[in-house]
Amino acid sequence: MKYLLLPAVVLLAGCQSLSQSDNADSDSGANTHIETANAVEIHQALLADESIDVTHPIADVEFSLKDKESLAKNDIWPRIQSQLTFDIPEEKRLIAQRNWYAKHPSYLKRVAKRAEPFLYYIVEELEKNDMPIELALLPVVESAFDPFAYSHGRASGMWQFVPATGERFGMKQNWWYDGRRDIVASTEGAIKYLKYLNKFFDGDWMLALAAYNSGEGRVRNAVRKNKRLGKPTDFWSLDLPKETRAYVPKLLALADIIKRPEDFNLTLYSIDNKSVLSLVDIKSQLDLAKAATLAGLSLAELQRLNPGFNRWATDPDGPHRLLLPTHTVEKFQLGLSKLSKNDRLAWQRYKIKSGDNLGVIANKFNTRVDLIQQVNNIKGNQIRAGKHLLIPVAAKSLDSYVFSQEQRIAKKQSRPGKGIKVTHTVKSGDNLWDIGRKYKVNGKSIAKWNGFAPRDTLKLGQKLVIWQKNTASYAKSKTGNRVENAIIRNITYKVRRGDSFARIADKFNVRISDIERWNNLDRSKYLQPGQRLKLSVDVTNNI
């Protein structure tokens, strides 16, 4: 058994970034430069705890991680404060973030509750690796300390890794398990990645942090550009994406407030400076419902501490470990020792029917073909009608596993929306662009309604919930302009690197021909970064 060291903290969370389309709320006829979010919008995004690019798909789960007799005797904050070393320049971007954080203590408390199980462990790991203690605050900026958070850029977990970078730094990802959400695997991976970036930029932590947000190639190119132009190459002087320009100031603002909270009339939440979680070796696959019962936890509580597991059980091929409140470990291990191998999972004897194949059977029981093959000692895919298979199944109804991937998606899809709800079944050749045009909705909205990122691969047979606008609201005049319930705003959009006519049309749910007409352009010509386009946008249809 390995002890992990983790507590509770009043922390601050910044919004990851703001959608450019969120700024289209000026009076009709007025031009708004939507590449810049105003202060009110930033404040609202922070308070909502749901920036446009980072989504928190599940409700927070509150429960005690301490034994009833445990009393806090030692606060972790002096330990962190004594190790804060980053310079805090009086830069405009940093001051704006710091002032805003300081004015919203209720928001800080919410993030503190999310951080409670995990911060102490992160502090310990950073100290072991001789890393700046400020990095313990990075999950606040990345995800508001939510291991279930995901972004429309396909990043997932507390440290917000995209799939490729997660694999690059040791985070296993498959049907059963996603290491990007696993507290231990993702923290280990984040430390490895940050070490690599720090070395890549010759020990400059500001550049390393910027690269953690936008990639080392982009930051390196910005440095090289400034060198060619004879300009300074420090972080504050670089031409970087808007999100990255705000990213480093957010972390520094947090560090400054933690270092001297009294200067901002804040009291930091008292955190017990000792281990509250333990990492327990479970040896082999185990149903999460059975694990929760053995530990004396609800299933939701167990899943909240072990967010890496996608399904109703741990991955049969590992990792074979669970994070548990330390005071529950003895009871859990005693109960686990009494379980036979067969009792770790629930089982069903299934008689093979004519027309069955292993894939159909696996889908029916929400399991994997390879697991059925392994349990029944089947080589290949040949099965015979009339024979029996032993199938591992969930010990409880699938909707009891509230934080499994299926249930997170089901909950997302069941949320009420505006308009008429339609279910689309993905067919061969489908993509978000075509589906969006078919139903006259934004492709990003489809992804949002169904709990995945716009660049995720659609699967054959996948069910998608789509909220169509009421027909009356979407009537169009002969000129093509929306009428009746549509709310039209004239905006100015600044073309970004990678934009195209199709991408902008999809983003704002307008037609390419309209963009051409409004700007006297030809779609065959390339758009240039920085170019400004006039758009007439129905803000009721841009989410």
Taking only the tens of pLDDT, the chain with its 543 residues reads 544 544 333 333 333 332 322 222 333 333 333 333 333 433 343 444 333 356 666 666 666 565 544 444 588 889 999 999 999 999 999 999 999 889 888 777 788 778 888 989 999 999 999 999 999 999 999 998 889 888 867 889 999 999 999 999 999 998 889 999 999 999 999 999 999 999 999 999 999 999 999 999 999 999 999 999 999 999 999 999 999 999 999 999 999 999 999 999 998 877 788 888 999 999 999 999 999 999 999 888 999 999 999 888 999 889 999 999 999 999 999 999 999 888 898 878 888 888 889 988 888 887 878 888 887 888 888 888 888 888 877 777 766 676 676 777 776 777 777 778 888 988 888 888 889 888 888 888 888 888 777 777 888 788 898 888 754 333 343 333 333 334 456 777 888 887 888 888 877 777 888 888 888 888 888 888 888 888 876 543 443
SS3 390: strand
Residues 113 and 236 in one domain: yes
Taking the CA atoms of residue 438, residue 442, residue 444 and residue 448 in that order, the dihedral angle to the nearest 10 degrees is -90
For position 402, what pLDDT does the model report?
Answer: 60
DSSP-derived letter for residue 74 is S
Give domain status of residue 46, yes or no.
no
Same domain assignment for residues 390 and 243: no
Residue type, 87: D
- Tell me, yes or no, whether 425 and 366 share the same domain: no
How many structural domains compose the chain? 3
Point out the domain boundary residue: 246, 264, 282: 264
Q: Which of 239, 264, 289 is the last residue of a domain?
A: 264
| Distance, CA of 538 to CA of 483 (rounded, Å) | 10
In a domain, 534, yes or no: no
Q: Is residue 131 part of a domain?
A: yes
Strands (E), 144-191: 150-151
The catalytic residues are: 142
Judged by DSSP in three states, 350 sits in: strand
Q: Are 185 and 320 in contact (CB under 8 A)?
A: no
537: which strand partners? 489
- Is 163 a domain residue? yes
- Give the CATH number of the domain where residue 433 resides: 3.10.350.10
pTM over 0.75: no
Query: Domain range holding 204?
Result: 2-17+53-264
Residues 73 and 181 both lie in one domain? yes
Terminal CA-to-CA distance of the chain, rounded, Å? 47
Mark whether 204 and 352 lie in a shared domain. Answer: no
Assess whether 457 and 377 both reside in one domain: no
**Residues 132 and 240 reside in one and the same domain:** yes
Residues 380 and 456 grouped into a single domain: no
Question: 237 and 96 in one domain?
Answer: yes
The CATH number given to whatever domain includes residue 165 is: 1.10.530.10
In a domain, 421, yes or no: yes
Distances in Å between the Cα of 72 and the Cα atoms of 3, 7, 64, 121, 324 are 18, 10, 13, 17, 19
183 and 255 both lie in a single domain: yes
Domain finish residue from 209, 243, 264 = 264
CA 538, 541, 543 angle in degrees (round to 5)?
Answer: 120
Single-letter code of the amino acid located at 511: R
SS3 266: coil
Task: Give me the DSSP letters along 327-349.
Answer: GGHHHHHHHHHT--GGGGSEEEE
Question: φ and ψ at 220, to 5 degrees?
Answer: -60, -40
pLDDT value for 75: 87
254 to each of 108, 150, 248, how far by Cα in Å? 11, 22, 10
CA distances from 174 to 163, 310, 316, 407, 523 (A): 11, 9, 11, 17, 41
- Give the pLDDT score at 508: 77
373 and 460 assigned to the same domain: no
In a shared domain, residues 218 and 363 = no
At residue 139, the pLDDT reads: 93
Does residue 422 sit within a domain?
yes
